[in-house]
């Protein structure tokens, strides 16, 4: 217990790193998810094929393999580019590789979530917006997006919880997140069980807080919707 208190600042610092990786990946994933959904719903066949390839590859390849490829392969590719343009050496750090990979992977899951949600907004709403003389961007921003979010929220919540847990693998490419800090602390104090259990508790705390926040969001975006009492 003393060891846990002694190392708690370091562990909490690691929790902050984990949270940063998760939140930045979430932003990237939502952006690529929106883009992917737009492509998947577009009339252009090449765009649809491209997103199909994207979602299939992400579903079929483990996140760790993709992360190792981005981390080691990305560096090699970057070195080639740097040599070609004779720039100064740039290093891909584990943080960037982690965020890019997790964002890329969950972008595919968000693509599916948003595609379904876009389809759920009734066409009459969009037509009404156009009838009022809104531009298509205004229709998207004022009518499509707020209503789409209501349908997408359960999926967003699920994806976020899975995303949060998958951040643990960034410790395997050397990022000092809470899992790898717990590993170090466990080795130096000979109490690995205590520290890994502490990491589990921190993850559970993060999921509990996100669950509360998602509940609030759901209430906010369901205002004015009547639900059947089952």
Partner 1 sequence: MELFDFQVITGSLPEFWRGLLMTLQLTGIALLCGFAGAVPLAVARVSKNRWVSGPVAAYTYFFRGTPMLVQLLLIYYGAGQWQWMQAAWEAGNPVWLLFREPFFCALLAFGLNTCAYTIEIIAGAMRNTPHGEVEAAKAMGMSRFKALQRIVLPSALRRMLPSYSNEVILMLQGSAIASAVTLVDITGAARNVYSRHFAPFEAFVFAGLVYLVLTFLLVGMFKYAEGRWLAHLAPRKATKRKEAA
- Residue 154 in contact with partner 1, rule: CB under 8 A: no
Structure tokens at 91: 């290093």
Q: Would you say 90 or 200 has its CB closer to partner 1?
A: 200
Distance CA 103, CA 163 (A): 9
**Piece of the chain touching partner 1 by CB under 8 A; list 23-31, 58-66, 93-101, 112-120:** 58-66
Instruction: Establish if 77 lies at the interface with partner 1 (CB under 8 A).
Output: yes
Q: Does 73 bind partner 1 (CB under 8 A)?
A: yes
Q: How far is the CB of 43 from partner 1 (least distance, A)?
A: 24
Q: Minimal distance in Å, beta carbon 46 to partner 1? A: 21
| Residue 168: closest CA among 98, 107, 75 | 98
CA distances from 205 to 2, 11, 161, 174, 202 (A): 21, 14, 12, 24, 5
Q: What is the 3-state secondary structure (H, E, C) of 1-63?
A: CHHHHHHHHHHHHHHHHHHHHHHHHHHHHHHHHHHHHHHHCCCCHHHHHHHHHHHHHHHHCCH
Q: Say if CB 24 and CB 101 are below 8 A apart.
A: no
For partner 1, the binding residues in 20-39 under the rule CB under 8 A are: none
Report the residue from 51, 111, 167, 176 that binds partner 1 according to the rule CB under 8 A: 167
Q: Among 52, 81, 128, 192, which residue interacts with partner 1 (rule: CB under 8 A)?
A: 192
Q: Do 59 and 128 contact (CB within 8 A), yes or no?
A: no
Which among 5-13, 24-32, 64-72, 144-152 is the span making contact with partner 1, rule CB under 8 A?
Answer: 64-72
Residues in contact with partner 1 by CB under 8 A are: 56-57, 59-66, 68-69, 72-73, 75-77, 80, 165-169, 171-172, 179, 182-183, 186, 190-194, 196-197, 199-200, 203-204, 207
């Amino acid at each position: 217990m003393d060891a846990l208190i002694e190392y708690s600042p370091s562990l909490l610092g690691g929790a902050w790193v984990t949270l940063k990786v998760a939140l930045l990946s979430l932003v990237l994933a939502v952006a690529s998810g929106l883009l992917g959904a737009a492509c998947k719903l577009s009339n252009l066949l090449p765009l649809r094929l491209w997103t199909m390839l994207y979602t299939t590859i992400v579903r079929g390849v483990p996140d760790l393999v993709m992360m190792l490829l981005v981390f080691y392969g990305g560096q090699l590719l970057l070195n080639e580019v740097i040599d070609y343009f004779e720039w100064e050496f740039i290093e891909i750090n584990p943080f960037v590789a982690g965020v890019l990979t997790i964002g890329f992977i969950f972008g595919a899951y968000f693509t599916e979530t948003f595609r379904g949600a876009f389809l759920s907004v009734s066409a009459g709403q969009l037509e009404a917006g156009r009838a009022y003389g809104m531009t298509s961007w205004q229709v998207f921003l004022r009518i499509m997006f707020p209503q789409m979010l209501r349908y997408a929220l359960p999926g967003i919540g699920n994806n976020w919880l899975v995303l949060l847990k998958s951040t643990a693998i960034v410790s395997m490419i050397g990022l000092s997140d809470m899992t790898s800090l717990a590993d170090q602390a466990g080795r130096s104090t000979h109490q690995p069980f205590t520290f890994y259990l502490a990491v589990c508790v921190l993850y559970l705390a993060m999921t509990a807080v996100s669950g509360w926040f998602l509940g609030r969001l759901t209430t906010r975006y369901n205002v004015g919707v009547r639900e059947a009492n089952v």
